[in-house]
Amino acid sequence: MFIIIGLKRKDIKMEDKKIKRQNIYKVIMLVILTATITFMLTTMVMYNKFSSTYINIGNTTTSTTGTTKSDYKDLVKTLEAFKTMIKQKYIGEVDEEKMVEGAIKGFVEGLGDPYTEYLPKEEMTEFTEETSSQYVGIGVYLTNDKTTNTILVIGTMNGSPALEAGMQAGDIIEKVNDVAYTGETMDDAIKVLKGEEGTSAKVTVLRDGKEINLTVTRKKITVEHVSSKMVENNIAYLQVDSFDSGVAESFKKQVTELVNKGAKGIIIDLRSNGGGIVWESTGIADLFLKKDETILITKSKTANEQLTVSKNDAIITDIPVVILVNEGTASASEILAGALKDKYPNTTIVGMQTYGKGVIQTLYSLSDGSGLKITTEEYYTPNHNKINKEGITPDVEVDLTKNAEGKYETEFDKDAQVQKAIETIKTKIK
């Protein structure tokens, strides 16, 4: 079973404009899909569950690392000594479960790899749920308004519980179930808003200076990660914001409709797309490449090159393609961009240098519901170009522009990167 989990956006440390075209942090919870949490990794592989005790984690790795049981016995003795000393001397309350989690996290962090980490049960559940395009929640977009330290509603999904309850863009969420929250505690509010399908939450919003109490009933929400439209000169524009489950099929449906309507060029917007499920990315590449063409090359510690190839004959040929990228384009997005750049002759990359996340993690699910993910592979483009820590260099480099107020122009008709993509396509249309 394959699964994806996320690289936390805080690890990227980019300017707002490099994260989202709209210059905002979208939050769609589970409840609300959290854009501040999710910057998707390349891919994870769920293996058979193994014991969740600390010592058994060590024993499990012994067979592949050469670490002896004796080494871990010494480690356990040391930890036991620390625990005894803390219980005897520490003046505060002792939560042994959190201490164990902290010890495991510290052990893994000692590798110095930002992608290898231990996930406690709650984090494991949250991250694995991010692979699905379906969430249980209220269907609202939120941002932390740092100027006012408030939780600002910037939009609601069509047909969502939030919309049905009367929530509007511009509302400020003050309380959830009569508990007050601020922008700084938005993550806490998100956790409270999570819940089972059919359950309700009381949400107090501030609108035009008046407090309004809304009762919102949580339900399953399907998130569409592909949007498309036809723009000038019969150019198809498709934006893919994440490679979650079902994205490849959605992209295929939408791009086919646009081609059948007479699209003469295709723009694929992968800006600020942090990746996701690898086969969703390779599934899109498959639409453009001949059968058995190389899409992806991976290398592990113990294996030579492994090839991922296209499974079907191309359904899109000869049509010029421009791929939009920026500093937030990473992981599975780089796989797609690299594959088309190398193997689809009529491809042009426009934008800024991509993030450079070219490694794959394996996720081991532990019996207590927690998880351990380890960087196990590095991937390359079909032409053996390295991605990790380097990224993909655009053929045409162009950044966003600023308006008179010093803010980046992100409206479609003023977006410098989009307009350059359209301009580039026009020169290639037959």
All residues at 6 or more sequence positions from 17 whose CB lies less than 8 Å from its CB, including other chains? 23, 400, 408, 410
Q: Give the distance from CA 269 to its chain's centroid.
A: 15
For residue 407, tell me if it sits in a domain. yes
| pLDDT at residue 124 tops 50 | yes
Is the pLDDT assigned to residue 17 strictly greater than 90?
Answer: no
CA 387 to CA 281: how far, in whole Å? 15
In a shared domain, residues 183 and 323: no
Closest of 429, 415, 399, 22 to residue 236, by C-alpha = 429
pLDDT mean over 141-163: 86
Instruction: Convert 226-273 into a string of H (helix), E (strand) and C (coil).
Output: EEEEEEHHHEEEEEECCECCCHHHHHHHHHHHHHHCCCCEEEEECCCC
Regarding whether 317 and 207 lie in a shared domain, the answer is: no
Helix (H) or strand (E) holding 308: strand 306-309
Q: Please indicate, yes or no, if residue 96 is contained in any of the structural domains.
A: no
- Whether residue 51 is predicted with pLDDT greater than 60 in this model: the reply is no
Give the C-alpha separation, 64 to 118, whole Å.
18
Are 197 and 344 within one domain? no
pLDDT digit string, tens, across residues 84-116: 899 899 999 988 888 888 888 898 999 999 989
- Token duo for residue 263: 């699209």
**Is 111 a member of any domain?**
no
Residue 331 shares a structural domain with residue 204: no
* Rounded Cα distance, 271 and 324, in Å: 6
Between 191 and 127, whose confidence is greater?
191
The DSSP line for 301-348 is SS---EEEE--S--S--S--EEEEE-TT--THHHHHHHHHHHH-TTEE
Residue 297, amino acid = I
- pLDDT, average across residues 135-158: 85
- pLDDT bin (cut points 50, 70, 90) of residue 303 is confident
Residues 168 and 288 occupy one common structural domain: no
pLDDT of residue 14: 29
Whole-angstrom distance, CA of residue 377 vs CA of residue 206:
49
* pLDDT above 90: residue 357: yes
Assigned domain for 64 exists: no
**Residue-level pLDDT at 8:** 27
What is the rounded distance in angstroms from the CA atom of residue 62 to the CA atom of residue 130? 31
Can you tell me whether residue 126 is helix, strand or coil?
A: helix
Q: What angle do CA 320, 324, 327 make, to 5 degrees?
A: 155
Q: Do 392 and 252 belong to one domain?
A: yes
Asked if 282 and 387 count as a contact pair (C-beta separation under 8 A), the reply is no
CATH number at residue 421: 3.90.226.10
Q: Is residue 52 part of a domain?
A: no
Of all helices (H) and strands (E), which one includes residue 397? strand 396-397
Residues 274 and 176 in one domain: no
Does 284 lie in the same domain as 163? no
Amino acid, res. 315? I
pLDDT tops 60 at residue 299: yes
Q: How many domains does the chain have?
A: 2
Q: pLDDT tens digits for 36-45?
A: 222 333 333 3
Chosen domain end from 207, 222, 237? 222
pLDDT exceeds 80 at position 219: yes
What confidence score (pLDDT) does residue 193 get? 86
Q: Is the pLDDT of residue 157 over 80?
A: no
DSSP code, position 364: E
d(CA 373, CA 189): 28
**Per-residue confidence band for 18, with pLDDT thresholds at 50, 70 and 90:** very low
Higher pLDDT, 426 or 196: 426
Q: Is residue 386 over pLDDT 80?
A: yes
User: Is residue 234 located within the same domain as residue 218?
Assistant: no
Inter-residue long-range contacts of 188-195, CB under 8 Å, 24+ positions, other chains counted: 189/151, 190/27, 190/29, 190/30, 190/31, 190/32, 190/34, 190/142, 193/29, 193/31, 193/32, 193/137, 193/138, 193/218, 194/29, 194/30, 194/31, 194/136, 194/137, 195/31, 195/136
What is the distance between the alpha carbons of residues 242 and 331, in angstroms, rounded to a whole number? 10
- pLDDT for position 25: 31
392 and 269 in one domain?
Answer: yes
pLDDT band for position 46 (50/70/90)?
very low
pLDDT at 383: 97
302 pLDDT more than 90 = no
**Residues spanned by the domain of 269:** 226-358+379-428
Give yes or no for a contact between 349 and 394, defined as CB atoms under 8 angstroms apart.
yes
| Biggest alpha carbon–alpha carbon distance for the chain | 79
CATH of the domain at 146: 2.30.42.10
By percentage, how much of the chain surpasses pLDDT 70? 82
Would residue 278 count as lying in a domain?
A: yes
How do residues 308-329 score in pLDDT, each as one tens digit? 999 999 999 999 999 999 999 9
The two structure tokens encoding residue 229:
């439209």
Least-confidence region, from 218-222, 316-320, 336-340: 218-222
Rounded-to-integer distance, Cα 339 and Cα 341, Å: 6
Three-class DSSP category at 385: coil
> Residue 71 has what pLDDT?
64
Final residue of a structural domain among 177, 193, 222: 222
3-state secondary structure of 34: strand
Task: Write down which residue in 187, 205, 222 finishes a domain.
Answer: 222
Domain presence at residue 104: no
Average pLDDT over residues 18-46: 31
**Looking at residues 129-135, what average pLDDT do you find?**
63
Average pLDDT over residues 155-178: 90
Concatenated DSSP letters of 160-209? -HHHHTT--TT-EEEEETTEE--GGGHHHHHHHH---TT-EEEEEEEETT
Q: Which residue has the higher pLDDT, 286 or 245?
A: 286
Shared domain for 216 and 315, answered yes or no, is no
- Pair 142, 32: CB distance under 8 Å: yes
Q: Are 264 and 230 in contact (CB under 8 A)?
A: no
What pLDDT band is residue 126 in, cutting at 50, 70 and 90?
confident
What tokens appear for 164 in the block?
Answer: 């049905």
Band the pLDDT of 245: cuts 50, 70, 90: confident
pLDDT, the chain, mean = 81
Summarised one tens digit per residue, pLDDT across range 262-291 is: 999 999 999 989 888 889 999 999 999 999
User: Of 240, 226, 238, nearest to 334 (Cα)?
Assistant: 240
Whether the per-residue pLDDT at 63 is higher than 60: the answer is: no
Model pLDDT, residue 151: 95
Residue 126: inside a domain, yes or no?
Answer: no
Q: Are both 242 and 386 inside the same structural domain?
A: yes
